[in-house]
Structure 1
Amino acid sequence: MAVDAFRIFQLATQGFCCSQIMLILGLDEQGKENPDLIKAMHGMCGGIGRSGRTCGVLTGGVCLIGLTLGKGTPSEAGHLKIHLIVNDFLEWFENTYGSLDCDGILGHPLDVGNAYPVQCGKIITMAHGKVQEILAAYSEDPESDDEA
């Protein structure tokens, strides 16, 4: 499902950051809402606590993979390859953006305040699409012989 740029803009203008937007988009696709999860993602904003470190789009994408394929209850089993899946996304992200950190991707520190650069919306769009592509690829062959 393609991400609607207007939806990203709408969420950003409502004060949600990159990590939160990634999860909201994933929840939208699943027909769910989870305000507590979105609150938890607030700590990942701006590169974890707005430090400019690990990008919120990256952490949001990893959490979206976990939300979709992870273990959530004692009786539930997570996907056997969840670690490979996360690492596929991580590798793609670093190869695509040249860094895992906000400051490295943007080429400058985030400004003080809540505004996010337009560049982040494009990264969200690309990364969300990649998460969906990776999830689809692994759901097609969940029993292959690769190790988790």
Structure 2
Amino acid sequence: MSDLPTLPVTFRPGRTRVVLLTAGVAIFVVISAIALLLEKLGPGERLSFIVTGALIFGVLAMLARVKVVADDSGVTVVNIASRRRLAWEEILRVNLRPGDPWVFLDLSDGTSLPALGIQPGIAKQRAIEDARTLRALAEARSIQDPEQHRG
């Protein structure tokens, strides 16, 4: 495929990220404003409101951090609470089946790794295109060194 993107390339659910971060900021601002406007609250109660808003924002920011970064030497999958680096040879297949919440990478060790950075939630067509691009990259990279794949 000659239409492969120039590496490095980052895949992330852009619209979902915007929604999560916007909601996080809005929730933090509203909860903090309520804490400051309610006259009957003491300083400790106000602080607990603000900390709660910050925690909610933090959780939404963690959800928004997901991405898949492909470069010359492999792929880095950043999920909600984990990061994993894979060499191209470790990726046997890139799957996004109808109904899947995100892409799954079938790995050479027999396991499957969810890659939340490509998810069809809000932008289904974009996720399908991203999955196809990552699949094409993985296929192109896995056959670059044919000696590596001879039995």
Same fold (TM over 0.5): no
Please, what TM-score do these two structures have when normalized by structure 1? 0.28
Query: Going by fraction, where is helix more abundant, 1 or 2?
Result: 1
Query: Going by fraction, where is strand more abundant, 1 or 2?
Result: 2
Greater Cα radius of gyration, structure 1 or 2: 2
